[in-house]
Amino acid sequence: MAVDQSLIGKQFEATEPVVVTSEAIAAYCDALGDENYRRPGPDGAIVAPPSFAVTFRNTEAFFHYTPRFGRGFDAGKEVEFFAPIRAGDSITLTSVVREMYEKTGRSGTMTFVVLRSTLTNQRGETVAHVDHRFVHRNPGEPG
Amino acid sequence: MATIIDLHSHSEASDDSRAPVGAYLNWIKLRRAERPLDGIVLTEHRQYNRAADYRALEDQFDVMVLRASEVETDYGHMLVFGVNDDILRRFDFSNVRLPAQEVIDGVAELGGVVVPCHPGRPTVGLCEHYETKPPLENVTAVELLNGGSRKGENERAAALVDRYGYRAIGGSDSHMVSLIGLCATRFDADVRTIDELVRELKSGRYEPVDFRPNRPRPRRAAPEMAGT
Amino acid sequence: MSANTGRHFDSVAVGESLGPHEIVIEKPRARAFAAACGMDSGRFHDDEAARAEGLPGMIIPGNFSLGLLSKLVTDWLGAGPGRLTRIGTTYRAIVLPERRLTLHGFVTHIEREARSVEIDVWIENEEAERLVIGTASVAFPPTD
């Protein structure tokens, strides 16, 4: 199956801003087992651990526009952190399809789709880039 | 003089690795007591990194860097050593469905050698393909020890080697700096160039070596099982 | 994991180890993490739903692995001036709850002028199989 490259560069509509609550950060930290970030920072605001950035997603829009080849999985992520996320911040997500390619692995021939999400806060600061690497096993292929 | 080379590694030139070559060589220098490598071969995925020049780094760290490729075929992944312009003209390394027998024979005809890697791995290893397709001809060697293998995969490779009498190599399949050299190949001869490496791979005077901590070498099948 | 008062750039050396740290993630904690991330897919919450997808049972989200490896680095940095600037992960195999996992990390490269540090990180299972691998970058301010 040839990869349809026409979706590369496809931009998705920005999400509605999500207001980060101290409760959401606490729930994330409790599950992660991270005590450090529950203490307020110097300005009094609760600061989320860097990995909290990956909790903002717009996969529904993504899967609506990109082909599904079968069972999909998260194959990995590449995340750049530019500014901390604090309780009270309002985070907006914009996303674009960066790459689509095929390779073979333990699960057979697979199509990879890399979607870059950019997180922006209420001050217009770029908070993080999150490159989501999704993998879909190609139907009808061995493995 | 024997030469120990990690025959399977990926630098940041591969899509799924972020390991800079200089960091690999520095790590080898730091860990030489545990992993006494003389060199590494960069086997980038689906490409041959023709323009790369590592001579300054080789001099800085006293570690040899050779270049090869890992290609994807209808019998799984294979390492191609001795890549040259003629080979690149005949085969499109970006094709993930290359015909394995043609690659093995064509590369040999054009001066290189092909070694199927991680043969015990599902889908991309030789063993699974041998269950449904005839065995390949003219296989010089297979990768018996792969540093990225999961439980049972190197053991399946050992059974394959025993059954078909293939020669065996080792490589780390490293995609991360700290994993370089965990598995390698010890050559009886002095190997300093890719041409010498190809010559020695054809000669059979080598064996895989395992530098993984606390790992037993995969047991070969009992002699009476060989050939079954 | 002992408290770390803060790591400084000049004290970091190539080859330095982060961890290893052993953990076991119980199912309720895995579900709580998925819920905290808004991941409502059955594969992260319920054995039966996961089996219906051909999985051996409910699995731990990749985001959880990324979070654990990020925390390995930020715990190592402690209260010092260093900052996690990047992490990349590859999920090579599914991670199951209620298994003993080990988090590993090594400092692999230091850029003296840029005052940045590269770190290999990974999660192993009891068979020493690397289920998740990754690299992280840390930046230190001009003086610390």
What's the topology of domain C12-25+60-139?
Answer: Thiol Ester Dehydrase; Chain A (3.10.129)
Domain A5-20+55-137 indexed as CATH 3.40.50.720? no
Q: Do the beta carbons of residue B43 and residue B83 sit within 8 Å? A: no
* ipTM value: 0.93
Give Rg (Cα) of chain A: 17
Class of the domain covering B3-225: alpha beta
Residues of B in contact with A101 (CB under 8 A): 15
CA gap A98, A133 in Å, rounded: 10
Phi-psi group of C18: left, alpha or beta (phi > 0 → left; psi -120 to 50 → alpha; rest → beta): beta
Would you tell me how many other CB atoms lie within 10 Å of the CB of residue B193? 10
Q: What is the pLDDT of residues B154-189, one digit of tens each?
A: 999 999 999 999 999 999 999 999 999 999 999 999
Interface touch C120/B177, C-beta < 8 Å: yes
CA gap A116, A130 in Å, rounded: 6
Interface touch B123/A104, C-beta < 8 Å: yes
Residues of B in contact with A109 (CB under 8 A): 96-97
How is chain B split into domains, by residue range?
Answer: 3-225
Within 13 Å, how many C-alpha atoms sit on residue A133's CB side? 18
Q: Which residue of B123, B127, B130, B176 is the best one to mutate when testing the A interface, meaning the one whose CB has the most A CBs within 10 A?
A: B123
Q: What is the pLDDT of residues B6-41, one digit of tens each?
A: 999 999 999 888 899 999 999 999 999 999 999 999
Q: Do the beta carbons of residue B80 and residue B107 sit within 8 Å? A: yes
Q: For every one of its 144 residues, what pLDDT tens digit does chain C have, with 9 covering 90 and above?
A: 455 678 999 999 999 999 999 999 999 999 999 999 999 889 999 999 999 988 999 999 999 999 999 999 999 999 889 999 999 999 999 999 999 999 999 999 999 999 999 999 999 999 999 999 999 999 999 976
CA distances from A92 to A115, A123, A128, B203 (A): 16, 11, 11, 61
Nearest chain C residue to A133 by CA: give it.
Answer: C90
Q: Do the beta carbons of residue A51 and residue C70 sit within 8 Å? A: yes
Report which of C72, C76, C85, C78 is spatially closest to residue C139, judged by C-alpha positions: C85
Q: Please confirm whether the linkage preceding B134 is cis (ω < 30° from 0).
A: no
